[in-house]
Amino acid sequence: MATAIATESFDAVILGSGQAGKPLALALANAGWKTAIVERKFVGGTCINFGCTPTKTMVASARVAYLARRGADYGVKTGPISIDMKKVVARKQAIIERFRNYGQQKMEATKNLDLIFGAAKFVDARTVEIALRDGGTRRLSAPKIVINTGGRPNKPPIPGLADVPTLDSTSVMDIAELPKHLLVLGGGFIGLEFAQMYRRFGAEVTVLEGGPRLAPRDDEDVGEALQAILREDGLRIECGAQAERVEGKSGDITVFYKKDGKSLSVNGSHLLVSVGRKPNSEDLDLAAAGISVDKGGFVTVDDTLQTNVDGIFAAGDIKGGPAFTHISYDDFRILRDRWLNKLDARTNDRLVPNTVFIDPQLAQVGLNETEARKRGLNVRVAKIGMNGVARALETDESRGFMKVIVDAKSNQILGCTILGIEGGEIMSMLQIAMMGKLPYTVLKEAIFAHPTLAEGLNNVFLALDA
């Protein structure tokens, strides 16, 4: 007869060591809660192991290649540029492991915290069972359970796709040779970051995007400018391209697609499938605890991150909505503040910025012009090219623009889109102004050190009044 597994009691159990789970586990344990965190693969989750950290590390290598090729523009002579992909991949891997090990060691050294490697699933609304990585099973119960299991790349049901070798956002970062011709299925932001990166490494790149334009959630001028920049960098971008069938073998893959009523095809050596992400919810046996999911499998929560089951919470990508590390981290803050600081923290009205790390960066916060007009708001909009910013001209990186949306009556900044060098940092300055409710007139007249990109804020708000 099999022996029953004893159930171990905790104050909180966290499933997944992503961008919410890890800091929450540390905060709860440091506050004296007996806490368990369960991770089935690597500490740090997607961001550190397969997302932000590795991509931005490789984007940095690609940018060096880009600037090295542009040496002559600055009066710097360079020899022929070649890329050592093995070194690029090794550099990326070293940074991942540094971040991952730091997180793991910190958790292992924390009192009251049990870091358990294994796959978790629910037994009931208070209990989870862990299939331990090194064999065996543990059962844990707690009055508070947090699901932070994130997501993974999606593979759409396109005929033939399952039968050809494909890359996803994880495996594409481990190919040690440069693809001759990389086909990218999906022109979303993850796809575009890889597309530009591999173009800069020297691959021919074709992006097939099903929608009518890039950046469909941004204003039309953003999509147009983005497309022009990427084309200038030598990428082939096909919007309105509906993939219908895929054929081929390693090194020789053809995507058949329809565009403007015509049947077309493109052949490449590698195919990166980058068409969204799926939640890691199926393996959790959520039904055993009665936890509701939406039709995409994302766990549904209220504005306190509580699921439909009392005591069970979800944080980060698993709950759907904008999939960013900073959202997952803010979910941690909400749970920490509610539980440890007894504050009424909630997810409503969060100002959610985002930056796409193509070069130049595309950064956005608050409302864009289309959204503001759709809401019928009385707004004023100003836009200047980055070629109106001295610093961008001096560094010869003046592609893109700054665009700001201001409430016509209150002079409050409602949002901005920055497509430009260090766009994420410029956007964050405007975000801080929005958080502090500074009227735009203050930034228009502010003394910024010359010559910084911040000076562009003077210029764009001057343009508003021109």
- Shortest distance, position 6 Cβ to ligand FAD, whole Å: 20
CB hemisphere CA count around 5 (13 angstroms):
15
When the beta carbons of 153 and 248 are compared against ligand FAD, the nearer one is 153
Inter-residue contact 400 to 229 (CB < 8 Å): yes
- Shortest distance, position 275 Cβ to ligand FAD, whole Å: 12
When the beta carbons of 18 and 248 are compared against ligand FAD, the nearer one is 18
- Shortest distance, position 306 Cβ to ligand FAD, whole Å: 17
Inter-residue contact 270 to 183 (CB < 8 Å): yes
Inter-residue contact 242 to 259 (CB < 8 Å): yes
Distances (CA, A) of 343 to 204, 249, 336, 349: 53, 57, 9, 16
Residue 400 corresponds to which tokens in the numbers above? 């893109």
Query: In residues, how long is the chain?
Result: 466
Q: What secondary structure letter does DSSP report for 167?
A: B
CA dist 143 and 140 (Å) reads 11
Q: Tally Cβ neighbours within 10 Å of residue 371.
A: 17
Q: Which residue is nearest to ligand FAD (CB)?
A: 150
- Shortest distance, position 390 Cβ to ligand FAD, whole Å: 28
When the beta carbons of 55 and 227 are compared against ligand FAD, the nearer one is 55
When the beta carbons of 15 and 246 are compared against ligand FAD, the nearer one is 15
- Shortest distance, position 258 Cβ to ligand FAD, whole Å: 28
When the beta carbons of 85 and 146 are compared against ligand FAD, the nearer one is 146
When the beta carbons of 142 and 406 are compared against ligand FAD, the nearer one is 142
Contact residues for 129 (Cβ-Cβ < 8 A; gap 6+): 5, 120, 121, 122, 123, 137, 138, 139
When the beta carbons of 120 and 235 are compared against ligand FAD, the nearer one is 120
CA dist 77 and 71 (Å) reads 6
Please give the positions annotated as active site: 450
CA dist 327 and 204 (Å) reads 34
- Shortest distance, position 309 Cβ to ligand FAD, whole Å: 17
User: Which residues sit at the interface with ligand FAD, rule CB under 6 A?
Assistant: 15-20, 38-42, 45-47, 50-52, 55, 119-120, 148-151, 169, 190, 280, 283-284, 316-318, 323-326, 328, 357
CA angle 192, 300, 26 (to 5 degrees): 80
Contact residues for 138 (Cβ-Cβ < 8 A; gap 6+): 5, 8, 116, 118, 129, 130, 132
CA dist 412 and 441 (Å) reads 9
CA dist 279 and 264 (Å) reads 33
- Shortest distance, position 292 Cβ to ligand FAD, whole Å: 18
CA angle 51, 55, 58 (to 5 degrees): 155
